[in-house]
Structure 1
Amino acid sequence: MSSPAAGDKEADYKLKDTKPNLGERWPHGGIRGGGGWITSERATSTYDLVEQMFYLYVRVVKAKDLPPDPVTGSCDPYVEVKLGNYKGRTQHFEKKTNPEWNNQVFAFSKDKIQSTVLEVFVRDKEMVPRDQYVGKVVFDLNEVPTRVPPDSPLAPQWYKLEDRKGDTKVKGEIMLAVWMGTQADEAFPDAWHSDAASVHGEGIYNIRSKVYVSPKLWYLRVNVIEAQDVEPQDKSQPPQAFAKIQVGKQILKTKLCSTKTTNPVWNEDLIFVVAEPFEEQLVLTVENKVSSAKDEVVGRLITQLNGFERRLDHRVVHSRWFNLEKFGFGTLEGDKRHELKFSSRVHLRVCLEGAYHVMDESTMYISDVRPTARQLWKQPIGIFEVGILSAQGLQPMKKNDGKGSTDAYCVAKYGQKWVRTRTVTDSFNPKWNEQYTWEVYDPCTVITIGVFDNCHLGGNDKNDSRIGKVRIRLSTLEMDRIYTHSYPLLVLQPSGLKKMGELQLAVRFTCLSLAHIIYLYGHPLLPKMHYLHPFTVNQLDSLRFQAMSIVATRLARAEPSLRKEVVEYMLDVDSHMWSMRRSKANFFRIVALFSGIISMNRWLGEVCQWKNPITSVLVHILYFILICFPELILPTTFLYMFLIGIWNFRFRPRHPPHMDIKLSWAEAVHADELDEEFDTFPTSKTQDVARMRYDRLRSVAGRIQTVVGDIATQGERFKALLSWRDPRATSLYVVFCLLVAIALYITPFKIVALVAGVYWLRHPKFRSKMPSVPSNFFRRLPSRADSLL
C-alpha cells in the first residue's frame, strides 16, 4: 500500500483541469476580455483561446531637422522611450540630423504600467560625461487610442520636440505612432518588450516569437545500373568495381560487382534525402577494389540535382548514360582527345520522388502524412488551434548574479509549421498567451509542444536546456470542444525523474468535413507510393536520421535560429536507442493486453466451480443454444461487442492522454539502468572489445525493443476499438457491429461462410496492393504509445 505522500506525488504527475479567463465568443462576433469589447471577427476566430493581454505600443519611424551639437557640429541621435521605470532605446546614428529607425516598435505591458504619461526623448550620443538632451514628446495615456486588428495600422504623425519645460522652442520633429493594442497586433512579434528590458544587443533577436517552416524534403532515388569501359591503372588485371555516391554528408555504396570485368553490373537502388532549394551536388565515383585496404577511383561524375525528373506517381523513370570524368590523364591535348573519345560511362536511373511522405520524425508521433509534392495534397479536413497560456512552478535552469533564473519559451511543431513563442525573461511563472493555428489533413496525427530555457540572451554559446514537452494526438479530441488543462513537464535525467513545472494549454480541433474524416478512417495512412514501393527497415532508419539532420541544419539558419538541440528534442531523435526502461515498459504493455484473457479464464473457472449458481446456469443455457444453433455464434459475438462499446461510453476518457510515469517505468527505474540509458552511443567505455560488444548488444536490443513496442501497439489498437479513446473510430465500429449483427441474424450461416471463403480464396487479379479498408481503419486507432515518456 502506497503512502499518502506517494499518492500526492503521483497526483502531481497527472493532467489537471484549469479554468483560464479566455476570451468568449458573443453573438455579435466580438470577444469580451479584460480590456472591454473587441468587435473584430478575425480576432474572435484567432485569439479566443488565450487571455487577452493589453500593451501600449510606440512605433518610432524617423526624425528630421535635429539640431547639431554646438561643440562637435554634428548629431548622433537615438530615441529613448520611457514609461515609469521602463526604458527602451533605439540604435543611434552617427552624424545624421534626419535619421530613420525603420519603424522600430516598443511594447509595454498594461498590467505593469506605473505611470500616466509616456515620454519619448531624443538624445545625442556623447562619449562623456553623458548623452546630450535634444528634445522630448509627452503623451497622456488616457488619450491614447485603442486599435485592434484587422483595423489598418495607426498612421504615424509628426510631433514637435519640446524642451525640458514643455515648450516647443526646440528645433526638430519626430514621427511616432502610439496606440493601445493586444497580443493579436501584427507589431507584437517584432516589438521590444518591457518585460525583457534587461536584454541588450544580439540577445534581443533571440527573445522574439517567430513562425518557421520546415524545408521541403524529397527522396532522391539513384538506381545504379551498370558501367562501361572501366579502366583501372593496372590494365593487366580487370577491375572489381563498385559505385559510391555522396550527396551532402550522405554517402552510400553499391556492392562489389560479383565478377572482375570492365563492364560491371550492379542494378542497385540508393536512396537519399534532399531539401529544396537543392544546395548539394550528386557526386558519383566508380572505384576499383585493389585490395582490402585500398580503393582506387577510376571515374567520377558531378551533377546538380535540379536536372533530375520529379516523380509524382508510380510511372517508370527513363534511364540515362552519363560520361565519367577519368583519373590519371595528363594535360596534353592528345590525352584530352583520348579521354573524350574513350570515356567511361555509367548507366543511371535518377529521380526526385515527391509521392512519398519523407519521415522527418518518429512514426509513433507523426504530425504530417502528406506527400512532399504539393500537387498531391488533398483539402484540409479541420483546423487545430493551440493557445499557449502560461507555465507554473518552473525550476531554475541557470544562475544569474548568484541566483537561479529561467528564461522560458515554447516551441510547437505540427506538420511543416513550427512556432516559437517569445522568451519571458527571469520568471518561474511566465505568461505567453499566444495562439497559433494549423490546417489538419489527417486527424490521426500528433502535435508536440516543448518548453526550453533560452541560454543565448547574454552572448553565451550554451545549448538551450530542456524543460519538458507535451504530445497531443488530435484523434483523441472531441470536435469543436475547448480543452483547458495543465500538463506536468516531466524530464528523465541521469539522477531520475523530475517534474520541471506545469504548462497550461487551451486546444481545439474544429471539423470542416465530418464525411471526409470518416472517409479517411478507411484510407491508407501514408501516400500510395509507400505501399507500392516500400523501403526496408534499415533504409527508413537511415533516411529518418538524415531528414532530421537536414531539418535541424536549415532551421538553425533562421533568425532567431531554432537550434539543433531544440529540433532534435522535438523530433525524438533518440527514441530508437536501447533503453532497459523502455524495454520493461513495452514488455508490461504486452502483459497488460493479456490481462483480459487472464480475467476471462478466471471467470470461467468460477463458472465451472459453481461459485455463483445463477451465472453458471445461464452460461450452460447459452452454451446449449449456441451448440444447437451454431449460426448464432457470430451475430452473438458482434452483438456482445456492440453492448460492451455502449457500456464503455460511460467510462470514456475525459481528457487527452499524457505522459504516464508508471507506464514509462520512469519512477521505478534503477540507477544503473539510467546510467546505461544516458550513456553515449557508441559507449564511452575504454576497452575496445567491451565497446564493440556493448554497442552491438544495444543496437540489437533496440530493434527488439521497437518490435515489442509495435506488438504492444497493435494490441492496444485492438483494445481501443471499444474504449472510446478515439470517439469517432469507436462510434464507427459500434455502428458497424450493430449492422453486421443484424445482417448475420437474417442471413443463413452457410451463405456467410461461402461468401467469406470465396472472398478469401479469390484470384490475385482481384487483389489490390493497397491495404484494405479494415487494415487502414485499424492502423489509425490510437495506442498507449502516446503516453510513453
Structure 2
Amino acid sequence: MANQQAGRAEEYKLKDTSPQLGERWPHPRSTGWLGMMGVGDKLTSTYDLVEQMYYLYVRVVKGKDLPPNAVTGSCDPYVEVKLGNYKGTTKHFDKRSNPEWHEVFAFSKERIQSTILEVYVKDRETVARDDYIGRVAFDLNEVPTRVPPDSPLAPQWYRLEDRRGDAKVRGEIMLAVWMGTQADEAFPDAWHSDAATVQGEGVLNIRSKVYVSPKLWYLRVNVIEAQDVQPNEKSRLPEVFVKAQVGNQVLKTKVCPTKTTSPTWNEDLVFVAAEPFEEHLVLTIEDRLSSTKDDLLGRIVLPLTLFEKRLDHRPVHPRWFNMEKFGLSVLEGGDLRKELKFSSRVHLRVCLEGAYHVMDESTMYISDTRPTARQLWKQPVGVLEVGILSAQGLAPMKTKDGRGTTDAYCVAKYGQKWVRTRTIVDSFSPKWNEQYTWEVYDPCTVITFGVFDNCHIGEKPAGGAPAKDMRVGKVRIRLSTLEMDRIYTHAYPLVALKPSGVKKMGELHLAVRFTCLSVASVIYLYMHPLLPKMHYIHPFTITQVDSLRYQAMSIVAARLGRAEPPLRKEAVEYMLDVDSHMWSMRRSKANFFRIMSLLSGAIGMFRWMDDVCRWKNPITTLLVHVLFVILICYPELILPTVFLYMFLIGLWSFRFRPRHPPHMDTKLSWAEAIHADELDEEFDTFPTSKANDIVRMRYDRLRSVAGRIQTVLGDLATQGERFQSLLSWRDPRATCLFVMFCLVAAVVLYVTPFQMVALLAGFYVLRHPRFRSKMPSVPSNFFKRLPSRIDSML
C-alpha cells in the first residue's frame, strides 16, 4: 500500500525535460506594446523556446484567364495541392475565370513522402467527374528556404501544363512555394497536412489563434431621488423602487421607506459593461403593490455612450432624466399600456469607471492588475515568453470509428490576451511547438494553461446533445516564483477530478522564460498596492465583488465565443475557475488542513518553549536563561537579535528553496483521499438533480460541518467577549478585582525597574518543573470565569 501511494505521488510530480530548443530569431507573432512603448529597443522577442519544425508552404493566390468548360460554357475553378498521399483543396468559385483564393497550405517536413509537389487547377462538376484544367509541378530540391526576419516570398505567375507536363495550356496561376518553420506568419492560418482528414467548417476550428478579452468597465449608477411619481391608483401613495438593467444584469434599489411622490434612495447600483457598448441602461420606476406584484410607473432607455468615463476619484455631477410615463387603457377587454403625456423625473449620477481593475477571474489566480483605462497604464516591467511544446500520454476523450481518440489543443491566458494552439488531430502525444509573448505589468500574477479536446472533430454525441470541448487538465504558474532570465523546461502533470476520483490525464510540456526589463521597477511594485487606487478609495462590498466577477466572466465567455474560431464557453469558464465558489467538502477539508499547516509552525514553537520551561533538555534551558538575561540587561539588543535571527533563517533556507515552478498538487487539494459520496456531491448540478433522500443526507452532513464551524467561531467570540467584560462591569466582582489589580500593578511597576520585572517574569516562566503545579494558573481560572454574551443566545 505504501509503495502504491509512493508511486501515485511520483506520478503527480513535476518532471524536468531537455527539449531541443531552437535558435534565437525574431518572433513574428510578438505583437503588442513591445514596439509601441519602446520596449523592443531593450529586448528583442525571440522564437527560441520551441523545437524548430519545418514545413513546406504553398500559397495559392489567384488564377487568370482560365478556360471555360466545353459543355457548360463556364468555369467553376478550385485548386488541389498534392504532395505524396496528402492532398488539400481550396474553395471553388462559380463561373469565375479569374478567381482569387488567398489560401496557404503547410506540409510537415517529417511526413513528406514525395520529391514532387503538384498543384492542379480543376473545374468543379456537380454530376460528372471534375474537369482537369492544368497543373504546375515543383521539384522540392529547388524550393527556397525562408527564415524570419526575411521578407515574405513574393508569389509568381506560372503557366499551366497538361497532365504529362509536355505542353502549356491556357490559363495561369499565381503561387509562392517555400520551406519555413512554425515561426512563419503564414503558419496560423494555413491548412496543415496533419489535419488532412478535417473538412468544411472543421478547418476553421482547428487553427491557432490569438484572442483579446473585451475592454470591461464598471458602470456605477447612483440613484438619488425622483420627483412627481404618480401611482396608477390615485387613492394611495406609492411604495417606489428603481430597477436598472444592462444586458442580462438586473439590479434594484430598496423600496423607499416613506410613501411619497418624491422618494429618495441614494443607492449605488454597479454593473459591468464591455466595449463597444452594445447594451443600453434601462431604468424603470415601479410601485410595490404586494410581495408578488409591481406596477410600472415610468421607464427610460439610456445609451452607455451618454455617460462620461471617470479615470480617477473625482465626483460626477448628477443629472435629471425624464421618465416615460405609462398608464393603463382598456381595449377590447384587455389591459394595454399606453404612454402618457406627462412624466416624472429621476435624479441620477452615472459614470463609467475605468480606474478600476475589472476582475474577470478569481482573485486567487489574478493575471492582470491594470485598470481598464489605457491612459493609466504604466511601462511594463518584463516580458513573459512561453513555448507550448507538446503533451504526452493524453487520455482518450471520445470515440472515433469505435476506438478512443483525442484531438487536443492548448489554451493559455494571461492578462487580456488569450492564445489557442492549433488542434492536433487523433494523437495522444501532440506536438504544437508554438511560442507566444506577453508584456508583464506586475510579476505577482498567474498565467493559466488548459488542454482541451476539440468537439468539432469526431462523432457527435448521442441523443442530439450539444457538443462540448472536454477538459483534459490545467496548469497554473505564478510569475513571481520564476527566476528572471532563466528558461524553465518541465513536464506538468495534467490532473483532473472525475466522478470516479482524481486521474492523471497526461503531461503538458512547456518552456517558460520571464525576462525582467527593470529590477528597480519590480522592487517598486512590491512596495505598492496590488490593485488600482479606486479599489481602496471606493471599495466594493463582498456581494458586489462576487456578482461583478460573475458578470465579467459571462461577458468574456460570450465575446470569445463569437470569435472565429470560437473559444467555447466551457473552455473560458474552466480557465477562469467559474465554479471555484461552489460548495465542496473536498475544498473545505483542503482549506482546513492548509490552516493547520500554517499553525503547525506556531504550535511547534509553543511546544519547544514548553519543553524549555519543563527542562526537558537542561542544557537548552540554561542557554535560554543566559540569552534571556543578556536581552534583559541590554534591551536594546532585542530587536537586532530578532532581525538577525530571521536573517540567518533566510540564509539557511536559501539552500532549500524551490527549484521548480508550482504545479497542481493532488495531496494539497485533498483529491486522493476524498470519499466517493463527497465526490459525487461536488459534481452534482446546481440546483441539485439527486433524489430527496440523498439530498437530505447531504444536507444533514452539511449541517454537522457547519455546526463545527459555528462552534469554533462561537468559541472565538466568547474569548473576545471575556476580554471586553474585564472593564464592562457585567460581572461587578470580577471587574472590581481586575481594577484593583490594575491599581496595584501600576504602583508596583512604577517603583520597580522594568528590567527587574521582566527578569522575574522570565524566571517564573522558565522555572523548574518541581516548582510547577498541575492545576490551572490563577489568571487562567479568573479568565475562564469571566462572563460572555453566550448566555444571551437563543
TM-score computed with the length of structure 2 as normaliser:
0.83
How far apart are 1:293 and its partner, in Å?
1.9
Rounded Cα–Cα distance in structure 2 between residues aligned with 1:43 and 1:314 = 36
Q: Which amino acid aligns with 2:438?
A: W
- 1:373 lines up with 2:373 in the alignment: yes
Alignment-derived partner of residue 666 in structure 2:
661
Q: Which amino acid aligns with 1:629?
A: Y
Rounded Cα–Cα distance in structure 2 between residues aligned with 1:43 and 1:124 = 51
Mark the structure with the bigger radius of gyration. 2
For 1:674, which of 670, 675, 679 is the aligned residue? 679
Alignment-derived partner of residue 602 in structure 1:
607
Q: Which amino acid aligns with 1:152?
A: S
Q: Which amino acid aligns with 1:366?
A: I
How far apart are 1:61 and its partner, in Å?
1.0
Gaps (5+ residues) in structure 1? 32-40, 712-748, 751-789
Rounded Cα–Cα distance in structure 2 between residues aligned with 1:292 and 1:129 = 71
Q: Which amino acid aligns with 1:124?
A: D
Alignment-derived partner of residue 108 in structure 2:
109
**Contact preservation (8 Å) 1:409, 1:453:** yes
How far apart are 1:45 and its partner, in Å?
3.3
Residues 338/617 of structure 1: CA separation in 2 closer, same or farther (3 Å cut): closer
- 1:632 lines up with 2:637 in the alignment: yes
How far apart are 1:128 and its partner, in Å?
4.2
- 1:539 lines up with 2:544 in the alignment: yes
Alignment-derived partner of residue 502 in structure 1:
507
For 1:583, which of 585, 588, 591 is the aligned residue? 588
Alignment-derived partner of residue 520 in structure 1:
525
Rounded Cα–Cα distance in structure 2 between residues aligned with 1:270 and 1:692 = 39
User: For 1:328-386, what per-residue CA distance to the aligned partner results, in whole angstroms no more than 9, with x for missing partners?
Assistant: 17799xxx99955x421111111111111111000000000011111111110000010
How far apart are 1:396 and its partner, in Å?
0.6
Rounded Cα–Cα distance in structure 1 between residues aligned with 2:179 and 2:382 = 33
Rounded Cα–Cα distance in structure 2 between residues aligned with 1:302 and 1:419 = 37
How far apart are 1:608 and its partner, in Å?
4.6
How far apart are 1:622 and its partner, in Å?
1.0
How far apart are 1:686 and its partner, in Å?
5.5
Q: Percent identity?
A: 77
- 1:391 lines up with 2:391 in the alignment: yes
User: For 1:135-186, what per-residue CA distance to the aligned partner results, in whole angstroms no more than 9, with x for missing partners?
Assistant: 1111010100011222221111111111122113322211110000111111
Residues 692/519 of structure 1: CA separation in 2 closer, same or farther (3 Å cut): farther
Alignment-derived partner of residue 417 in structure 1:
417
Residues 277/142 of structure 1: CA separation in 2 closer, same or farther (3 Å cut): same
Residues 695/359 of structure 1: CA separation in 2 closer, same or farther (3 Å cut): farther
How far apart are 1:643 and its partner, in Å?
0.3
Alignment-derived partner of residue 325 in structure 2:
326
**Contact preservation (8 Å) 1:682, 1:691:** no
How far apart are 1:126 and its partner, in Å?
2.2
How far apart are 1:134 and its partner, in Å?
1.7
Rounded Cα–Cα distance in structure 2 between residues aligned with 1:302 and 1:404 = 53
Residues 495/54 of structure 1: CA separation in 2 closer, same or farther (3 Å cut): same
Alignment-derived partner of residue 34 in structure 1:
none
Rounded Cα–Cα distance in structure 2 between residues aligned with 1:394 and 1:204 = 22
Alignment-derived partner of residue 619 in structure 1:
624
Alignment-derived partner of residue 258 in structure 1:
257
How far apart are 1:546 and its partner, in Å?
0.5
How far apart are 1:5 and its partner, in Å?
2.8
**Contact preservation (8 Å) 2:379, 2:441:** yes
Residues 430/636 of structure 1: CA separation in 2 closer, same or farther (3 Å cut): same
Q: Secondary structure at the match of 1:211?
A: strand
Q: Which amino acid aligns with 2:211?
A: Y
Rounded Cα–Cα distance in structure 1 between residues aligned with 2:696 and 2:310 = 43
User: For 1:195-226, what per-residue CA distance to the aligned partner results, in whole angstroms no more than 9, with x for missing partners?
Assistant: 00000000000000000000010111001111
Counterparts of residues 181-200 of structure 1 (less than 5 Å): 181-200=180-199
User: For 1:563-607, what per-residue CA distance to the aligned partner results, in whole angstroms no more than 9, with x for missing partners?
Assistant: 110110000001111111001011111111122223223333444
Alignment-derived partner of residue 296 in structure 2:
297
Alignment-derived partner of residue 456 in structure 2:
456
Residues 701/365 of structure 1: CA separation in 2 closer, same or farther (3 Å cut): farther
Report the count of equivalent residues: 694
Alignment-derived partner of residue 151 in structure 1:
150
Alignment-derived partner of residue 236 in structure 2:
237
Q: Tell me whether 373-382 or 609-618 shows the greater mean CA deviation.
A: 609-618
Q: Secondary structure at the match of 2:667?
A: helix
Q: Tell me whether 554-563 or 144-153 shows the greater mean CA deviation.
A: 144-153
Alignment-derived partner of residue 165 in structure 2:
166
Counterparts of residues 747-762 of structure 1 (less than 5 Å): none
Residues 100/280 of structure 1: CA separation in 2 closer, same or farther (3 Å cut): same
Residues 321/337 of structure 1: CA separation in 2 closer, same or farther (3 Å cut): farther
Residues 337/395 of structure 1: CA separation in 2 closer, same or farther (3 Å cut): closer
User: For 1:679-737, what per-residue CA distance to the aligned partner results, in whole angstroms no more than 9, with x for missing partners?
Assistant: 12222246599689959969x979x89x99xx9xxxxxxxxxxxxxxxxxxxxxxxxxx
**Contact preservation (8 Å) 2:198, 2:457:** yes
**Contact preservation (8 Å) 1:78, 1:122:** yes
What root-mean-square deviation, in Å, do the aligned CA atoms of Structure 1 and Structure 2 show?
A: 3.0
How far apart are 1:290 and its partner, in Å?
1.1
Q: Secondary structure at the match of 1:651?
A: coil
**Contact preservation (8 Å) 1:311, 1:352:** yes
**Contact preservation (8 Å) 1:491, 1:498:** yes
Q: Which amino acid aligns with 2:122?
A: R
**Contact preservation (8 Å) 2:448, 2:477:** yes
**Contact preservation (8 Å) 2:328, 2:338:** no
Residues 167/192 of structure 1: CA separation in 2 closer, same or farther (3 Å cut): same
Alignment-derived partner of residue 550 in structure 1:
555
Rounded Cα–Cα distance in structure 2 between residues aligned with 1:21 and 1:693 = 52
Alignment-derived partner of residue 402 in structure 1:
402
Q: Secondary structure at the match of 1:291?
A: coil
Alignment-derived partner of residue 571 in structure 1:
576
Q: Which amino acid aligns with 1:286?
A: I
Rounded Cα–Cα distance in structure 1 between residues aligned with 2:184 and 2:432 = 14
User: For 1:382-441, what per-residue CA distance to the aligned partner results, in whole angstroms no more than 9, with x for missing partners?
Assistant: 000100000000011001111111000001000000000000000000000000000000
Rounded Cα–Cα distance in structure 1 between residues aligned with 2:701 and 2:345 = 40
Rounded Cα–Cα distance in structure 2 between residues aligned with 1:254 and 1:423 = 48
Rounded Cα–Cα distance in structure 2 between residues aligned with 1:182 and 1:650 = 41
Q: Tell me whether 453-462 or 514-523 shows the greater mean CA deviation.
A: 453-462
Residues 459/124 of structure 1: CA separation in 2 closer, same or farther (3 Å cut): farther
How far apart are 1:291 and its partner, in Å?
1.6
Rounded Cα–Cα distance in structure 1 between residues aligned with 2:520 and 2:595 = 35
**Contact preservation (8 Å) 2:400, 2:459:** no
Rounded Cα–Cα distance in structure 2 between residues aligned with 1:244 and 1:18 = 57
Alignment-derived partner of residue 71 in structure 1:
71
**Contact preservation (8 Å) 1:683, 1:695:** no
**Contact preservation (8 Å) 2:384, 2:438:** yes
Q: Secondary structure at the match of 1:172?
A: strand
How far apart are 1:614 and its partner, in Å?
3.8
Rounded Cα–Cα distance in structure 2 between residues aligned with 1:468 and 1:13 = 12
Rounded Cα–Cα distance in structure 2 between residues aligned with 1:631 and 1:69 = 102
Alignment-derived partner of residue 270 in structure 2:
271
For 2:473, which of 462, 468, 473 is the aligned residue? 468
TM-score computed with the length of structure 1 as normaliser:
0.84
How far apart are 1:125 and its partner, in Å?
1.9
How far apart are 1:473 and its partner, in Å?
0.3
Counterparts of residues 27-176 of structure 1 (less than 5 Å): 45-101=45-101, 103-176=102-175
Rounded Cα–Cα distance in structure 1 between residues aligned with 2:435 and 2:395 = 24
**Contact preservation (8 Å) 2:27, 2:45:** no
Rounded Cα–Cα distance in structure 2 between residues aligned with 1:4 and 1:669 = 20
Q: Secondary structure at the match of 2:605?
A: helix
Rounded Cα–Cα distance in structure 1 between residues aligned with 2:42 and 2:164 = 44
Residues 691/252 of structure 1: CA separation in 2 closer, same or farther (3 Å cut): farther
Alignment-derived partner of residue 31 in structure 2:
none
**Contact preservation (8 Å) 1:42, 1:150:** no
